[in-house]
Amino acid sequence: MTTAHNALAVIIIGAGKGTRMKSSLPKVLHPLAGRPLIAHVLDLALSLTPQRLITVVGHQADAVRAVCEPRGATCVLQELQLGTGHAVAQAEAHLADFQGNILVLYGDVPLLQSHTVRALWHEHQRQQATVTVLTACLENPMGYGRIIRDTQGRMVRIVEERDATEAQRAVHEINSGIYCLDAAFLFSALHQVGQNNAQGEQYLTDVVAVAVAQHATVAHVTAADAHEIVGVNTRADLAHLETILRRRICATLMLDGVSIIDPASTVIDAEVQIDRDTVIAPQTHILGRTHIGSHCQVGPQVVIENCTLGDGVRVEPFCVLKDTTVPAHRTIPSFSHLTS
């Protein structure tokens, strides 16, 4: 039986336009390793089996809904983007009967891993905390809110960079923006949080100060890998995260028994499956929902998209395969172009 403190709802904020992307496509729908940014976050949320899953949509809401609702998310509209606190407040009516805790995630922070979020959730439960903050330590913390602690090391405030003093900007521990919060406290605190800041927005970070003022338990977990909490604001950010994620995908496959001769030149999408003892040669692109069996030889310089390859298939250099199935133990000769 799920007790109130064990009950979990997840809110994913995905309403922003992403002006710095300079794109007609909403930021959270830009592809990363073959999937929309927000799809990676939805999968992370679903891995926690939450009792409720809510996505806050805004810019091009219908397009974002089309990605989120088939995955079981309830979408709520934030008509005006007035800050993270304002975004979360849009979900209040949908959680009026919910007694438990809320995990806040972001549709443009796609590299967060389940073990990190589970550590946050477990610490929140262990301390019976009101708020638990995921922090990270960065060499260059520019652009992030700083974690401000008292002389005993207790977290007392999170200050956004634009509102920080010079001394506060020198702090290297930053706020990821990812929290576990007691639901009743969260919505009560949001009613107390104003917009007295440089942007005239309602910051979710200010609920931490409310918790401190109420002498509530404020806990934290520090991410071991700061890359996990990096968000996408520009196309350069997107390319940076693409490099990190593709390296992660290759590393996972190699640990599972796949040989990838040159990971740096190999592109493998997030939904690709490759079985053991298959060898992927350099400059090979494996895209979409492709499944490659065991003991295959692929490449070099091959493109495979949305295909199924049986065990023992050999794909020789300079081939393109799209939307097709190759039976086991076949050889596809060089320069072949196969489609369904």
Q: Any idea which residues carry the catalytic annotation?
A: 20
- CA distance linking residue 31 with residue 28, whole number of Å: 8
CA distance 225 to 116: 9
Give the chain's length.
Answer: 340
For residue 231, the 8-state DSSP code is -
Nearest alpha-carbon partner for 137 in 151, 123, 149: 149
Q: What is the 3-state secondary structure of 93-148? A: HHHCCCCCEEEEEECCCCCCCHHHHHHHHHHHHHCCCCEEEEEEECCCCCCCCEEE
DSSP string, 250-290: HHHHHHTT-EES-GGG-EE-TT-EE-TT-EE-SS-EEESS-
| Rounded Cα gap, residues 34 and 32, in angstroms | 5
- Cβ pair 180, 102 in contact under 8 A: yes
- Sign of the C-alpha dihedral computed for residues 123, 125, 128 and 132 taken in this order: positive
154: β partners: none
